[in-house]
Amino acid sequence: MSTIQVENIVKSFGSQRAVDGVNFEVNPGEIFGLLGPNGAGKTTTIRIILDIFKPDSGNVAILGGPMTEDKKNRIGYLPEERGLYQEIKLEQCLVYLATLKGLSKAEANKRVSEYLERFDLADSRKKKLKELSKGMQQKAQLIVTLVHEPEILIIDEPFSALDPVNTQMVKDLLLEQRAKGRTIVLCTHQMHQVEELCDRIVLIDKGKAMLYGDLNEIRRQYAGQDLILRTPTLLPATIPGVSSYLRTNGGYHLKLAAGTAPQAVLAELVKENILVEQFEIAMPTMDEIFIRVVTGETPNE
Ligand SMILES: Nc1ncnc2c1ncn2[C@@H]1O[C@H](COP(=O)(O)OP(=O)(O)OP(=O)(O)O)[C@@H](O)[C@H]1O
C-alpha cells in the first residue's frame, strides 16, 4: 500500500488551473521529490494532500484512506512560509506546539531539549523567536515538524536559509528519518539535493506531471551519447566511433558518433592500449533535466 496516493487531482483558482490532473504515489520509507518551477502547483498539491484545500476533482488517499484528525498528528509539515509566534521564547514556543501535537508536557520538554542541542540552538532557548536569525528560525520550524516523530514528513524548501554545515546536518537527519522507515516528501528547487536524497520524483509544470518515477531511471532516459573516460593515457587524434572529445580534469568527455554503442568504443580503447580507469555514460544532472523538461525538450532530443 502506498503512503500517499494522488489520483487525478484538479484545482483551479478562478479561471486559473493551478493543478491539472496530477497522479502520483509516494511509497513507504522513501524520500520522494516534489519538483517543479515557481508557480507549477507544488504547494497547492501539498495543501490538497494535507486537506487544507479540497480538490475540484480527483482523490487523495493517505495511509490507506481519507485524511482524519488522527492522521494529521502522524504527519509533520514544514511549510515554505515560516511562521512561528515571534514574541514567544524559543523553547516555550516549541514545547507548546509539541503539546498541541499530542505530547505530554514532560515528553515535550525532553524532546525539545534534545532537539535544541542537536540543532545547536540550546544557547538560544530563552531568546524570543524574533531575536533569532533566519536560519535559526528555520531550524526551529524543523524541530516543530519532527518533534512528534511523525510517520510522514512533508517538507518544503528545508535548506533555503541554511549554511553548508546546517544543510549537511539536515540532510543527515532526513537520511536518518528514512532509515527509521519514515516517508518523506521533499519539495525543493535545489536539484543537487534531489540527486543526493531522492529515490523517486514527480516534476510538475503548469499543473501537470511531466516526469514521474525512479530518479536514476529518469536520468538514464535523459542520458545522451556522451561518455566519461578517466585515463592517464593521451588519446590518439581519432578513435573509431567517437565524433569528438574534450580533455577534462583526469580524463576525457567523449561524444559518440550516431549509432555507436559504448561497448564498441571501449573495445577500441583497449585495442589501442589505453589504460581505462573509468568508463561510464555521462548522466545528465537533475538541473539539466529540469531545464529541458520545463523548456519543452523530450529525452535525447
Ligand atoms: N490561494 C490562491 N489563490 C489564487 N491563486 C493561487 C492560490 N494559491 C496558488 N495560486 C496560483 O496557483 C498556481 C500554483 O501555485 P503554487 O503555490 O501551487 O506553486 P508552487 O509550485 O508551489 O510555486 P513556488 O515554487 O513558487 O512555491 C500559481 O499560479 C499561483 O498564482
Q: Atom 18 (ligand 1): residue with closest C-alpha? A: 41
How many A from CA of 108 to the centre of ligand 1? Answer: 34
61 — alpha (psi -120 to 50), left (phi > 0) or beta? beta
Predicted local distance difference test score (pLDDT) of residue 301: 56
The continuous run of DSSP H or E covering 41 comes out as none
Q: Which residues contact 172 (CB under 8 A, 6 or more apart)?
A: none
Ligand 1 and 11: CB distance under 6 A: no
Residue ranges for the chain with pLDDT beneath 70: 82, 298-301
Ligand 1 and 44: CB distance under 6 A: yes
Q: Atom 5 (ligand 1): residue with closest C-alpha? A: 13
Predicted local distance difference test score (pLDDT) of residue 296: 82
How many A from CA of 207 to the centre of ligand 1? Answer: 10
DSSP bridge partners of 69: none
Predicted local distance difference test score (pLDDT) of residue 4: 97
Q: Which three cell numbers stand for residue 80?
A: 515554505
Q: Can you tell me the distance from the alpha carbon of 202 to that of 7, in angstroms, rounded to the nearest whole number?
A: 13
Predicted local distance difference test score (pLDDT) of residue 298: 66
First to last CA, the chain: 36
How many C-beta atoms lie closer than 10 Å to residue 106's C-beta? 8
* Structural domain boundaries in the chain: 4-74+150-219, 224-282
pTM of full prediction above 0.90: no
Ligand 1 and 43: CB distance under 6 A: yes
Ligand 1 and 213: CB distance under 6 A: no
Strand order in the sheet with 75-78: 75-78, 152-156, 183-187, 31-35, 200-205, 208-214
Ligand 1 and 42: CB distance under 6 A: yes
Q: Which fold has domain 4-74+150-219?
A: Rossmann fold (3.40.50)
Q: Can you tell me the distance from the alpha carbon of 3 to that of 192, in angstroms, rounded to the nearest whole number?
A: 25
Confirm if 138 and 161 have CB atoms less than 8 A apart: yes
- Domain 224-282 maps to which CATH number in 1.10.8, 3.30.200, 3.30.70, 2.60.40? 3.30.70
Q: What angle (nearest 5°) sits at the alpha carbon of residue 2, between those of residues 206 and 60?
A: 50
Ligand 1 and 47: CB distance under 6 A: no
- Reported ipTM: 0.97
Ligand 1 and 18: CB distance under 6 A: yes
Q: Please identify, by atom number, the ligand 1 atom nearest to the C-alpha of residue 14.
A: 4
